[in-house]
Structure 1
């Protein structure tokens, strides 16, 4: 491989898709997921929201327990939900002002302090680790082969923090999604 074969990742002009669109995961039953927030990031995210006068909703995402129980005893990860009723649009995405990021998309009010999950994007946890196929760069330009080291490092940090040998793993259903799906979406903890 030569240097010109390396395709560096960069945001597509005017794109903010990763901060706007949320998806159902792992199924519609669980509702739309929010931005993954590690327990050690939760207070900082809440403090930043207070600083900027932004209302946020942080829900649990993954919990564990060592013994059989009705709910998890430890939360491994939280999720910050989108501000729209359907779960879309990160509350920290500045869609109100005329400010734009260097690539022309909306700006992030907490970019320098954004959660690890945002720092890892477009690298996603899968087997094997891959690039999010919904990323506009990946749709338009293909898979980046360069310039994703910091994203990979962020994903590795997330993986280390979520590593567990607990026999019981729980997933939280958010109850949030498209109006047309309201009868399919549940809320609360489910044993994985």
Structure 2
């Protein structure tokens, strides 16, 4: 069975998760530096408020990140959920009946890669509704895999220190556990 979005699902655009743990807060959609500029421009042109935080930084010493390799587009809800480009107010729906993406044709590589989350061996996100309901697709994830490989190549670095940014965003019940700022990993 080929991969396709499940009827009326927009789960990947709504639900955000804690990664790598609750302390780091919920993560947003990964953006490469060049995508960050594009997303900011699209948001400004369409009067859409976005929050973009750093995600991965690198340096050659422990004084802090010197270069940001990736950013993250945070959700609009206080708990970090719901992509700002997901059109939840419109009656218009995508071909599978879910909410439409306002920037589908120019969406980030991370969105294009989904539900592929690892390239070798190919691994699909077990939280994807298709994967839960239908199992592993028999094919047609080549473009998703290609997008993920592009991201992975951009993340290759010879830096000695890798930093992860804790977003400070999550469920209200977890507020005392969640950190904010850069952490050496």
Give the TM-score, by structure 2 length. Answer: 0.98
Judge conservation of contact 2:119–2:148 (CA < 8 Å) in 1. no
What is the deviation of 1:127?
Answer: 6.4
1:36 counterpart SS class? strand
State which of 13, 24, 27 in structure 2 corresponds to 1:30. 24
Q: Name the counterpart of 1:106.
A: 99
Give the TM-score, by structure 1 length. Answer: 0.94
- Consecutive unaligned residues in structure 2, runs of 5 or more: none
Question: CA separation in 2, counterparts of 1:11 and 1:161?
Answer: 27
Q: Does 1:16 align with 2:26?
A: no
Q: Does 1:170 align with 2:163?
A: yes
4+ long deviations beyond 2 Å:
125-129
- Consecutive unaligned residues in structure 1, runs of 5 or more: 1-6
What is the deviation of 1:145?
Answer: 2.2
Q: RMSD in angstroms over aligned alpha carbons? A: 1.0
Question: CA separation in 2, counterparts of 1:181 and 1:72?
Answer: 27
What is the deviation of 1:125?
Answer: 3.1
Q: CA offsets, 1:151-173, max 9 Å, x none?
A: 00000000000011211000000
